[in-house]
Chain A
Amino acid sequence: QKEVEQDPGPLSVPEGAIVSLNCTYSNSAFQYFMWYRQYSRKGPELLMYTYSSGNKEDGRFTAQVDKSSKYISLFIRDSQPSDSATYLCATYNTNAGKSTFGDGTTLTVKP
């Protein structure tokens, strides 16, 4: 079993839709939870990260973590064609100094 499982997608939505991207993790030692966005043929870039359970908002993006159920979500409001990319969830274990990535969900937002 992978330590971080991510809904594989692909996901296709119309412009303006609300997008929900989800991951689950198995190791309770993970302390940080990140979302990276990767455009085709480019390296990933950090969107946002959270440390504790709850919501964190940045513009149209909201990251949500529920440590009790080991569930990570990223919501995108008013999705735009420029949001079309692969989204990778990731966790970080401070003690191990190690990042673990999900397999990524490819999102297409159609105009």
Chain B
Amino acid sequence: GAVVSQHPSRVICKSGTSVKIECRSLDFQATTMFWYRQFPKQSLMLMATSNEGSKATYEQGVEKDKFLINHASLTLSTLTVTSAHPEDSSFYICSARGGPGSGANVLTFGAGSRLTVL
């Protein structure tokens, strides 16, 4: 089945530094990837839709200059949290639509990246 690899799984950084999270579709090409943020005991909050070769589409209230998204190839999307602050600490999850034998309604998720900003 479709596999989405997300790296790193955990990262701890100092306030003011930038952190990059990678999301790769391992066995299929993903023209569209999604980035979510999840707080403890809460659901997924869609941050942005990442489109290969074009600018990401951000959800209302998400700062595009704070959360930089790059989707340079059909198998890789990256999320960079710039000048991270403690309030950015969260669980970030990427997903890709479709995959071999899957319809557009199916999302394959990465394992998530837990960011802790000190």
What is A's interface to B at a CB cutoff of 8 Å? 31-32, 34, 36, 41-46, 49, 88, 90, 92, 94, 97, 99, 101-104, 106
Contact = CB atoms under 8 A, between A and B. Distances in A.
Contact of A43 (B41, B42, B105, B109): B109
A94 B106 contact: no
A26 B91 CA distance: 28
22 contacts: A34-B107, A36-B109, A41-B91, A41-B112, A41-B114, A42-B111, A42-B112, A43-B93, A43-B95, A43-B111, A44-B44, A44-B93, A44-B107, A45-B109, A46-B106, A49-B105, A88-B43, A88-B44, A90-B107, A94-B104, A102-B43, A103-B42
Contacts of A45: 109
Contacts of A49: 105-106
Interface of B: 4, 6, 34, 41-44, 91, 93, 95, 103-112, 114
B112 A34 contact: no
Contacts of B95: 43
Contacts of A42: 111-112
A10 to B, nearest CB: 9
Given A34-B106, A92-B104, A92-B105, A101 B43 contact: yes
Closest 8 CB pairs of A and B: A43-B109, A32-B105, A92-B105, A103-B43, A43-B112, A43-B111, A44-B109, A43-B93
A101 B95 CA distance: 13
A104 B93 CA distance: 15
Contacts of B107: 34, 36, 44, 46, 90, 99
- Highest count of chain B CB atoms <10 Å: which of A97, A99, A106: A99
Nearest to B108: A46
A52 B111 CA distance: 30
Contacts of B93: 43-44
A92 B109 CA distance: 16
A94 B103 CA distance: 10
Contacts of B105: 31-32, 34, 49, 92, 94, 99
